[in-house]
Structure 1
């Protein structure tokens, strides 16, 4: 993986964790960040891999947040909420 991609991935993970701390459980607020990264060029596989990595290292109390975000990425949600 190139250095630029690693930097984008790290920025994505840090941004998401930061937004989670202020989101007060608002999953749609977090979804907007995912859309921003998609529009900036992050592909579906990269986004999913980052979410999987974050989920595996998180506390169980926020695991559902990552699962919901993964649903938006994979399309396992209302079609109006799909990211890809």
Structure 2
């Protein structure tokens, strides 16, 4: 319910998704108009948080953009 009381982005990463899949529902069931990002993998949560930060920080944006372009170049060269 933190998301209902803050203007900051809230990212939920339920622990033990593979062992206890029913715990995901506690993060997904939110009242309407309460923004909350539920992400199942911790590494994806880090990337999501970095994307949120890069929307206001030019240095973070450049780092993220470089990583995306580098990944695209590496995947294109694999073919």
TM-score of the two chains, using structure 2 as the length reference = 0.34
| Greater per-residue helix proportion | 1
Greater Cα radius of gyration, structure 1 or 2 = 2
